[in-house]
Structure 1
Amino acid sequence: MFCRWLVLFCLFLFHTCLKSNAQQKNSIGIQLVDIKAGTFSMGSERGKEDADESPVHDVTISKGFKMSATEITNKQYEAFDPEHNKLRGKQGFSLKDDEAVVFVSYDEAVAFCAWLSKKEGKPYRLPTEAEWEYACRAGTTTDYFTGNELPAEYQKLQHTNRTPVPVSLQVAQTAPNEWGLYDMHGNVEEWCSDWYGAYVASPQTDPVGRQTGMSRVTRGGSHNTPVRYLRSANRQGMLPEDKHWLTGFRIVQGALPRTKALPAEPTPANCLQVSQQKYVWQKETQPVFEAPVTYVIKPDSSTGIPFYKHNHCPAITWCPNGDLLAAWFSANNENGREMTILASRLRAGKKTWDTASLFFMVPDRNTTGTSLVYDQKGTLYHINGVEAAGDWQNLAMVMRTSTNNGASWSKPVLIEPEHVKRHQVIAGSQVTREGWLVQFCDADPSSRGGTAMYISKDKGTHWTTPYTLPNTPKFKDSAIGGLIAGIHGSAVQLKDGRWLALGRNDNIKVDSVTGERMTMSISGDGGASWQYSPSIFPPISSGQRLVLRRLNEGPLLMVSFTHCPGKSTVEGMDFTRPNGEVYKGYGMYAALSYDEGKTWPVIKLLTDGHLRQLNGGAWTGMFRMDSTHSEPKGYLAATQTPDNVIHLISSNLYYRFTLAWLQQP
């Protein structure tokens, strides 16, 4: 009798719970879970790549709220925006009614909450970052609510896939946490309401993040993502306008805390004490070659600036106040999600570069590819790639501008919002004689991917690509179509309006004696199609990127490398001394053309002959400079100031020289 009574009682409780849960569903079927007030330890103490999770600090959530048990689904979101149905199945993701909605920006998620609030007369919103972590942990202190490991049944391809692999995003297919919330670890990332910013050490009550910022916080990690990014404490971020296959959202019912937001993050050093006085340039006519100096200067670890072991892929421009501004990525791995863009300033009249400081970052997103240019009409342009996740294939392109010498920058604007190939930004943005902005990008992450061209005729507001695919490839062993031959391409507009470009790989074999030569690409239709022919220059390979530009004085300047150590079958090039003696030289050289690239009568090794031991950084490392050796590798970027001084940077070193020095025997 007692057992029978116990069974009936359990059934009663079960049906009572079902009824309670049913009563928690709102008008469009979103199940809401009560989250009670409480206090928890927010963050974690991990390695440098996760430094933004520290310091661990106590957070009190003073008032309870209701949170959606699952991420918002396609069916629920499309009750607000039926047009979103067109994005179902994009790139193979989220096709069914009960799969988590993706391809939703921050503003669209906020608009959904506003629509639902009006519809029901109750306050709906995105969770704060603190509320999200509190609810995810559900009283736990471990890496995941399941412990310090995430069981296999919760995992959906938890590794980086260069080409994302579609998986089901159906919600609530694994057990919820102790508070009844599903998919807090993985499935899709989720928008939070906070601007991303550093934590503070003191205890917080109902924190709401920073007053402003560049990125909005996302939490929880997603499919096609290493499992460590699914931890309760892991912090990610996205530009608010961005949207892709990794991110959706869940909602909270309850008023936003009235807590005062923390101040915006401190201004980085490269934006501080920037002179606004117009610099008076004095023409330099003498031969000048200055000993190379380091421009990548490590900041003190106490500053919290995310400086990693691999600093590479630079860009450089001059500013109207006389400063030089250089930017590059810093990472442990080139396809890492820890990557950030740092910058340094060489202030007018100074000989030493500033210490590196933060320039651009989207938390836990790879940001490969940076370019800088000054339009000589008052505006600096910064263009950068932003991945959906790690790696460096599926990049969107963002742009910022500055009209005060880089003392402040506009909010990033997605100028190419799709995360696809062809968006890996290459240093060397330029302004054409028509006043158009031109940006070059690697078209494919493979070694034979070619270089794409993007053009804006309205100062960066709208961009087009002139690319057309011809019926047949222009030369053997390459099917890059209407692209510049080779990745990391560098191009120059010729006086007759055509474009001339050089790049890495997609080389042309001349004959059995000469071997392969770097391909010269010529376009007579604004970049829509290209004709290819062998140049006189040897090919370059891994760890090397060339520069091609027009000098103020008129000649074309090309800076490249004699060979790639460990890759080239023939090492070095023949150079001629003033007395006519031919010698073998190794490393970085400069070439000049006075007839728009037809001939290159001046080819000079970039060294003054003095013996030095130098560190090229990145893939270059230590090397010897002397009368026959210059820097053997490096990603190059260059600018020329109005005084006609050429400023060249490799992955770690800054060179300063003049045309008169290049022309000197």
Structure 2
Amino acid sequence: MYCRWSVIFLLLVQTGLKSIAQQTNSIGIRLVDVPAGTFNRGSNRGKEDADESPVHAVTITNGFKMSATEITNKQYEAFDPAHSKLRGKNGFSLQDDEAVTFVNYEEAVAFCAWLSRREGKPYRLPTEAEWEYACRAGTTTDYSTGDELPASYQKLQHTNRTPVPVSLRVAQTAPNSWGLYDMHGNVEEWCHDWYGAYTAGTQKDPVGRQSGLSRVTRGGSHNTPVRFLRSANRQGMLPEDKHWLTGFRVVQGVMPGTKATIAEPAPANSVQVSQQKYIWKKVTQPLFDAPIVYVRKPDSSSGTPFYAHNHCPAITWCPNGDLLVAWFSTNAESGREMVILASRLRAGKKAWDTASMFFSVPDRNVTGTSLIYDQKGILYHINGLEAAGDWQNLAMIMRTSTNNGSTWSKPVLIAPEHTKRHQVIAGSIITREGWLVQLCDADPGPRGGTAIHISKDKGMHWTTPYSLPITPIYNNGSVGGLIAGIHASVVQLKDGRYLALGRNDNIKSDSLGERMPMSISNDGGATWQYAPSVFPPISSGQRLVLRRLNEGPLLLVSFTHSAGKSGIEGMDFTKPDGTKYKGYGMYAALSFDEGKTWPIKKLLTDNVMRHLEGGAWTGPFTMDTTHSEPKGYLAATQSPDNVIHLISSNLYYRFTLAWLQLP
């Protein structure tokens, strides 16, 4: 429904009497009058765009002026001349009249405050409602141009793993009917609001939530699929983040006096969390529990996004006796719909909670999650954060909890550059010096290797100790700056060296053929020397676990052969009577001499036939005497009672060292 002024304006346009009220301020910002009125905010697309629902009527009670274009480099640098050094970063936004990028939320707000003082008039960021209202300019279609965005408005409207530079020059296509340029694309634009779910019912001048993790961005950008450029599409960014996709435009006008909506309620994994310290009783007898599902679909009424592909998990124990698991849920691993969900196995319970939200930045890919408890009161959550979709150009965030995950600190960008070598892998370790070590995939390619990140002060500062930046050729005896293989896992040996095993980058052994690569560092991760391990290589859909057990031995959990490959099939295992048999699937191996030998190798099955669902890339499989889970992304923790807790992409296993040592 159009407001009175909207109808009059559209009639003027149709009769050729278009006359847009504009003025230009002292730094060249053209301002366009946006009249008061009412519009329907949102869409009913559902599924990946469910956050645009419900559609609801919003009234903007007072007109305001909005910059006709996004703020340009020249205009922004009148405020911050030092920003000129970021011109052309990653190939974007070099010229005076291109939209400014690499500006975070606080910097955009500071620009508005500076401009207000300079002009003697109130400048600010638009509210999310004001932005969509101005973008629609009286229309109800997907775009202000109709249900399709004409080709002339589009740049590179698809996800590029390596972003392709394009011109971000403003006002190169026709404005909408209210005189605003580049509302669909060019660059995303910061809005005032904290991101949060819409509420139903008619609203006046909404200003978003009282608090949140992300601030809203709107409009979509270059190197972005066109559907993210729709008038109703909602995106978000951490306020401290900045990259080549996002800039901003300004509003001249007093901020609405509306009271912000209360913050969204805590997710189920943070509710009714016991704060009583758990008394762990050592389990010394053999134990192997039948695997159970931990990825449990939430009820649709909960509002929790839950997609078809649930994968890439992390696990930790908590001091209250709970286990906490987190993983990504998405329809495509390169999808922007991806969220991090979590589940809790509460102390004394036999079933995991249903999945609930753990971490999300709207319309950003968040591949890679790690959880660890430092045994001194702090839980750490480390996660990747893309600028867009895909999983190559990730920043790294960290959150901490001192109350068993009941609440978490504000996300901190511990590696703020969106670049390679930041795809977080589950399996953080605390070294004997008390340092926090986090591994990350270095490159999404098949020979990408794994990078190491180290914090010596509880995550406040991080270093990347590798001294050889070029990816080496992972040959036997060669030396490089990265761990051989992606999705690697690392342990610290008793003499201080690091030992790591990874996937791909296989190395030939004279007697065994291709083997899983083993990497050893004598200098704190700065360089690594490579050799073939005794283990068969793994590949797509498989991720190993390597960790030191409380009792001292090293534990490896991996797979007997590469998924989907027929060159090497199965491994030899020993029956109690000493005879050999061929086993297939997930196995555990133990080393009692710091990885020199691995005398115990055991298939992870209790010899009972079961038909199980492995989820993700694994799917259904049969476990029996000679077969265990064939693939999956593994993560593990060992609680103080010495029980080993292992998860694959969908299943949770419990067993003990005593069980592994049984014949």
TM-score (norm 2): 0.96
Q: CA deviation at 1:80?
A: 0.2
CA change 1:73–1:560 in 2 (3 A) is same
Contact 1:474 1:531 in 2 (8 A): no
Q: How far has the Cα of 1:430 moved from its partner?
A: 1.3
Residue 479 (structure 1) shift: 9.4
Aligned residue type for 1:137? R
Corresponding position: 1:241 with 2:231: no
Which residue does 1:111 correspond to in 2?
110
Aligned to 1:293: 292
Mapped to 1, the partners of 2:107 and 2:559 lie a distance apart of 49
CA distance in structure 2 between the aligned counterparts of 1:15 and 1:227, rounded to whole angstroms: 32
> CA offsets per residue over residues 449-508 of structure 1, 9 Å max, x none?
000000001110100011111899464499993110000000000000000000000001
Q: How does 1:465-484 map to 2 (within 5 A)?
A: 465-469=464-468, 473=472, 475-476=474-475, 481-484=480-483
SS in 1 for 2:280: coil
Contact 1:450 1:486 in 2 (8 A): yes
Name the structure 2 match of 1:26. Answer: 25
Closer/same/farther in 2, CA of residues 57 and 413 from structure 1, 3 Å limit:
same
- Equivalences, count: 650
Q: 1:292 to 1:402 in 2, by over 3 A?
A: same
Contact 2:474 / 2:530 at 8 angstroms: preserved in 1?
Answer: yes
The alignment partner of 2:50 has SS state of helix
In the TM superposition, 1:204-223 aligns within 5 A as 204-223=203-222
Q: Distance in 1 between matches of 2:470 and 2:215?
A: 44
In the alignment, residue 562 of structure 2 is paired with which amino acid? C
SS of equivalent to 1:491: strand
Secondary structure of the residue that 1:256 maps to in structure 2?
coil
Deviations 1:418-459 (A, max 9, x none): 000000000011111101111000000101100000000111
Query: Against the structure 1 CA distance between its residues 182 and 474, is the aligned structure 2 distance closer, same or farther, given a 3 Å change threshold?
Result: closer
For 1:531 and 1:520, the matched residues in 2 are separated by 8
Matched residue, 2:306 = 307
Kindly indicate whether the alpha-carbon contact (under 8 Å) linking 1:470 and 1:529 is maintained by their aligned counterparts in 2: no
Distance (whole Å) between structure 2 residues aligned to residue 649 and residue 523 of structure 1: 28
Partner AA of 1:544 in structure 2:
Q
Match of 1:196 in 2: 195
Taking the TM superposition and a 5 Å limit, the aligned residue runs for 1:432-471 are: 432-469=431-468
Corresponding residue of 2:555: 557
Residue in structure 2 matching 1:584, options 582, 595, 608 = 582
- The alpha-carbon deviation at position 303 of structure 1 amounts to 1.2
**1:215, distance to aligned residue in structure 2 (A):** 0.2
- Residue 16 of structure 1: how far off its partner (Å): 11
CA distance in 1, matches of 2:484, 2:172: 48
TM-score, normalising length: structure 1: 0.96
Q: Counterpart of 2:152 in 1: which secondary structure? A: helix
Structure-2 residue corresponding to 1:403: 402
Q: CA deviation at 1:297?
A: 0.2
Residue of structure 2 equivalent to 1:523: 521
1:218 offset after TM fit, Å?
A: 0.2
Q: Distance in 1 between matches of 2:566 and 2:259?
A: 61
Whether the 8 Å contact between 1:321 and 1:405 is mirrored in structure 2 is yes
1:49 is paired with a residue whose SS is coil
Q: Secondary structure at the match of 1:48?
A: coil
Q: Tell me, in whole angstroms, the C-alpha distance in 2 between the residues paired with 1:298 and 1:471.
A: 43
SS at match of 2:292: strand
Change (3 A) 1:470 1:15: closer
Please list, as runs of the form range in 1=range in 2, the aligned pairs for 1:4-19 lying within 5 A after superposition.
none
**Distance in 1 of aligned mates of 2:411 and 2:202:** 32
Q: How far apart in 1 are the matches of 2:421 and 2:470? A: 20
Is it true that 1:572 corresponds to 2:575 in the alignment?
no
2-side partners of 1:119 and 1:435: how far apart? 50
Provide the C-alpha distance between the structure 2 equivalents of 1:477 and 1:170, rounded to a whole number of angstroms: 51
The amino acid of 1:233's aligned partner reads A
- Contact kept in structure 1, 2:67 and 2:249, CA below 8 Å: yes
In the alignment, structure 2 segments of 5+ residues that lack a partner are 1-11
| RMSD between aligned residues | 1.7
Distance 1:472 1:404, change over 3 A: closer
- SS of equivalent residue, structure 2 residue 48: helix
Question: What is the aligned partner in structure 1 of residue 512 from structure 2?
Answer: 514
| Alpha-carbon shift at residue 17 of structure 1 (Å) | 5.7
Distance (Å, rounded) in 2 between the aligned partners of 1:494 and 1:64: 67
1:263-662 matches, cutoff 5 A: 263-469=262-468, 473=472, 475-476=474-475, 481-511=480-510, 514-662=512-660
Q: Amino acid of the residue matched to residue 652 of structure 2?
A: Y
Alpha-carbon distance in 1 for matches of 2:240, 2:565:
42
8 Å Cα contact 1:93-1:169 kept in structure 2: yes
Helix, strand or coil at the partner of 2:117: helix
Report deviation, 1:565. 3.2
1:337 aligned partner, one-letter code: R
Q: How far is 1:603 from its partner?
A: 0.3
C-alpha contact (below 8 Å) 2:188/2:220 kept by paired residues = yes
- List 4+ stretches of structure 1 deviating above 2 A: 13-18, 470-481
Distance 1:16 1:308, change over 3 A: closer
Letter in 1 for 2:216: V
Matched to 1:335, the amino acid is S
In 2, the alpha carbon distance for the partners of 1:481 and 1:46 equals 49
Amino acid at match of 1:406: G
**C-alpha distance in 1, partners of 2:657/2:139?**
66
Q: How many angstroms apart in 1 are the aligned matches of 2:656 and 2:260?
A: 51
Structure 2 distance, partners of 1:539, 1:153, is: 50
Match of 1:5 in 2: none
Q: CA deviation at 1:15?
A: 13
Letter in 1 for 2:597: T
SS at match of 2:480: coil
- Give the Cα–Cα distance (whole angstroms) in 2 for the partners of residues 484 and 471 of structure 1: 12
Q: Describe the SS at the equivalent of 1:96.
A: coil
Unpaired runs of 5+ in structure 1?
1-9
Is the Cα–Cα contact under 8 Å of residues 324 and 342 in structure 2 kept in the other structure?
yes
Shift of 1:514: 2.5
Name the CA shift for 1:147/1:381 in 2 (closer, same or farther; >3 Å): same
The percent of aligned pairs where both chains have the same amino acid is: 80
Classify the secondary structure of the residue corresponding to 1:326. strand
